[in-house]
Amino acid sequence: MDNRLHEFEKGHDAFQKIKFKKSEERFKKLVSEGQNPKALFIGCSDSRVMPALITGSKPGDLFIVRNIGNFVAPYNPEANYHATASAIEYAVSVLEVSDIIVCGHSHCGAIATLFKDIKETPENIHTVKWLKLGEEAKKISLLAYKNADKETMLRYTEKISVIYQIDNLLTYPGVIKRVEEGTLHLHGWHYDIENGAIEYYDDENYEFKPLSQK
């Protein structure tokens, strides 16, 4: 029998026998006391981006939402089955996280697709609609970098998109309320897959800077 998940099964076995054992008390505490994550991490579903790995976080530290393009749809109470929105509300109003991180990344397939002519079909109807959340970032990039090479354009769009998603976060009543109270802080990050570095958005100087130098 062809078992394509064999490596995952072996990995799970090693986790249970080694890693779980090392942190068994922490897991038990997370069960008995419940979760109290430090931050909501909104990242891309890209398999090359692993939030816990790139932040060095432990179980219970991050409440994680992942979707195509690390997009945040604007607040819309009329929307049906809005998974990202419900996760934002839960993290902010129930778990009361102190920080929200929107983390984009280099070589993002969602951002690259914004610059392609994709026809809507029954097989991709949700994806095409979802990608509209990146259109404003694309428009700004085309204006600012109209003569730039493709890769420069894409890196810029990835970062500009992060800023737009933060703006969308501020349309949520619970988010804006706590931001104004000073109990919630929003962060825009961009992770470079090729060198492992993260840059953060400095909203005072309107530029991305190395997180390692913050």
Contact 75, 85 (CB under 8 A): yes
Contact 189, 44 (CB under 8 A): no
Q: For this structure, is 192 an active site residue? A: no
> Which residue among 103, 105, 187, 190 is the active-site one?
105
Both tokens of 4, joined, read: 């394509």
> Which residue among 2, 6, 26, 46 is the active-site one?
46
> Which residue among 12, 26, 48, 126 is the active-site one?
48
> Which residue among 103, 108, 178, 190 is the active-site one?
108
Q: For this structure, is 44 an active site residue? A: yes
SS3 139: helix
Count helices and strands (H / E) in the chain. 10, 6
Q: For this structure, is 103 an active site residue? A: no
CB-neighbour burial class of residue 208 (10 A; exposed 0-12, middle 13-18, buried 19+): buried
Q: For this structure, is 108 an active site residue? A: yes
Nearest by Cα to 141 from 169, 161, 168, 117: 161
Q: For this structure, is 202 an active site residue? A: no
Q: Which residues are catalytic?
A: 44, 46, 48, 105, 108
